[in-house]
Amino acid sequence: MDRYFAFLEQRYGGEIARRFGVAVESPVDAFNRPRHRGDFTVRIPPSRRALTEFFGIWRAELPRARKYPVAARDYVMAKIAYLSGVRASELCSVGMGDVHWERGQWGRFVVAGKGAHGSGPRDREAFLFEEGRELLWWYVEQVRGEFADSTPSASTNCATSR
């Protein structure tokens, strides 16, 4: 409850005050607030404009990267994770055989997701969307072949999974 009101105060406090003339305050008083260790402040996600600018600058810097194929792979993985909503750890295990260009309007790919209640991981399909399809196609055509071992899974492994 307290975290929800902290979110409202940080994200919409000014707008609520302007529209309704009241300040957002948590109904939980300081004495009854739970004690936590660490930083539990509300994190506000970046705006769509900020992310577009971020990925645009990153893409423009790719040709100057010391290891271009690796930098391009990391860029594509980050952008597809952003576009499709999959976890980075799920994206690390995606191989070329998991990409299904023909499914749906723009294609889909299979990720091994996390399990629920101890049942183990379950495969699920994630959407590529138009921008993700173009980006992945660019990667497959232009970058993937630059890796020394371009077997179906060689250029899609994450550096953290080695």
* pLDDT at site 62: 94
| CB distance 75 to 89 below 8 Å | no
Angle formed at CA 3 by CA 33 and CA 48, multiple of 5 degrees: 160
* Distance (Å, whole) CA 57 – CA 59: 5
* Amino acid 96: pLDDT: 86
pLDDT for the residue 93 = 84
Report, in angstroms and rounded to the nearest whole number, the Rg of the chain calculated over CA atoms.
Answer: 21
Supply the mean pLDDT for the chain: 82
Predicted pLDDT at 120? 73
DSSP 14: H
Local structure of 44: helix, strand or coil: coil
Write the pLDDT tens digit of every residue in 59-72.
999 999 999 999 99
Per-residue pLDDT of 90-123, as tens digits, reads 888 888 889 998 988 999 998 887 766 677 777 8
Domain boundaries, the chain: 1-44, 48-161
Contact 49, 81 (CB under 8 A): no
pTM strictly above 0.85: no
Among the ranges given (17-21, 43-47, 65-69, 154-158), the one the predictor scored with the smallest mean pLDDT: 154-158
* 118 vs 153, more confident: 118
